[in-house]
Amino acid sequence: MPRPLKASTPVPQLAFAKSFFTGGDYDALPKHIRKRVRAAMDKFPRLTPSQLKADKG
């Protein structure tokens, strides 16, 4: 069973404003950058804080 987090342990969060996707900002990005944004969104919740810190992509 995993150890519970200490109350002082920050929990990483990733947030995008809805307007980023609906306001045209996302669509204005080059296609390869849009792919990387989506990949980061998919990867973020699966990684531990240590893995996030070590991840270069």
Q: Is 33 left (phi over 0), alpha (psi -120 to 50) or beta?
A: alpha
The predicted pLDDT at position 56 comes to 79
Residue with tokens 């987090």: 5
Tell me the residue type at 36.
Answer: R
Q: Is the pTM of this model over 0.85?
A: no
Residue with tokens 């973020």: 44
Tens place of pLDDT for every residue, the chain, 57 residues?
667 666 666 778 888 898 988 888 999 999 999 999 999 889 888 888 888 889 876
Please state, in angstroms and rounded to a whole number, the distance separating the CA atoms of residues 39 and 32: 11
